[in-house]
Amino acid sequence: MSRDTAPAGPLIGIKVIELGGIGPVPFAAMVLADLGADVIRVHRPADRAKPPNPVLDRGRRSLVADLKDPRGAAVVRTLIDEADVVLEGFRPGVAERLGFDPALLAERNPRLVFGRMTGFGQDGPLATAAGHDINYISLSGALGAIGRPGQPPAPPLNLVGDFGGGGMVLALGVVAAVLSARTSGRGQVVDAAMVEGSGLLMSMVYGLHAQGAWSVGRGQNLLDGGAPFYDTYECGDGRHVAVGAIESGFFANLVDVLGVAPVVDLAAQRDPRTWPAMRETFTQAFKEASRDEWVERFAGTDACVTPVLTMDEVVSHAHNADRESFFTDSDGTVHPAPAPRFADTPCGRPAPAPLPGQDTRAILSELGHSSEDIERLLTEGAVQ
């Protein structure tokens, strides 16, 4: 599939209004736009002074409206009257105070899906408390499971709460609600909370723990760096490789290519008592050659060894380049390509991130405002 095609995808015909925010809501909007939805981001007037994120803000149109101005809020409500989805990430109660009560909006647009993104959820003792990704994943058990033995939990960027357990779960939720609305004719509120979404991502680990196969101690388990055959290693040039040789056949290939067969007992792979010595053996072996030399040696061996790439290296990697998994825009910015891929309704290359307000006039015109009305709203500051 060419990444140079016009925007397309399985969500063509779905209209989304994104009430501007940070983190998970823009990510959910980006995912929906990547998949073909017509997403209009409602920026606040203050956003005009901020440059857009060239990746996270891609693929939609932008309207600047002052939601605290009744005329600006009325413009946005008119947009919502024709929309399938609203996305918002305010603290509970803020949307209502701004005049965007989902119950009242549903009276005007019964099929509307109102996607709400918070850290703690719309109710409960912490519903209105401040927080960020690290706080939400600390309550789900995810943060406490990540890190090295004897060291504090390690923040996994903001991938687990904001984007995996937040924005992606929100995007899935609103798509499911849109499908339901097509059958029932009624939309609904989607309450997405990052505590619960990141907890959902931990489902397998919770299951393993229930079976006695996962310790709550960090760095002591099969997939958390505790096992020496599932970890990263520094090579002779200071760069790293990732090793995921879990199955016995892959482990045997790892040991063979590393040249450490005489000192590693294949039959004792899963015995934690052997792990400290095994890790030391692997650590010393990988330092004997550069990262790329090891990648060449392991090529085609099914030992589950790959280079740890930096963000500057991903585009040129042979596999990524062949599948066009990443692309570079005209400004040289590296973008992850839309995912997943669809056989019959492929996604196109996303449009560049808009400057805040660059589509305000066109959107107002689509809503039926005359040139005089548009100029008056702009002059009075209701929209910008």
Beta strands in 79-138 (DSSP E): 85-88, 113-118
101-121 pLDDT, tens digit each: 999 999 999 999 999 999 999
pLDDT at 21: 85
Which run of H or of E encompasses 371?
A: helix 371-380
**Cis amide linkage into residue 340, ω under 30° from 0:** yes
247-278 pLDDT, tens digit each: 999 999 999 999 999 999 999 999 999 999 99
pLDDT at 326: 97
Q: Which of 34, 57, 84, 162 is catalytic?
A: 162
| Residue 5: pLDDT band with limits 50, 70, 90 | very low
The DSSP annotation for 245-290 comes to --SHHHHHHHHHHHT-GGG--GGGTT-GGGHHHHHHHHHHHHTTS-
pLDDT at 4: 44
Q: Which of 132, 209, 240, 317 is catalytic?
A: 132
Q: Is 209 marked active-site?
A: no
Average pLDDT, the chain: 96
pLDDT at 69: 95
Q: How far is C-alpha 44 from the geometric centre of its chain's CA atoms? A: 23
pTM across the whole model: 0.95
- In this structure, are residues 316 and 310 in contact, taking their beta carbons and an 8 Å threshold? no
pLDDT at 357: 96
Domain 15-201+329-380, CATH: 3.40.50.10540
| Residue 20: pLDDT band with limits 50, 70, 90 | confident
What 3-state DSSP class applies to 368? Answer: coil
| Cα 60 from Cα 359, distance rounded (Å) | 10
pLDDT at 265: 97
Q: 230-307, which class in CATH?
A: alpha beta
Q: Is 317 marked active-site?
A: no
Give residue limits of the domains in the chain. Answer: 15-201+329-380, 230-307
| Cα 369 from Cα 350, distance rounded (Å) | 28
- Alpha carbons within 13 angstroms on the beta-carbon side of residue 171 total 23
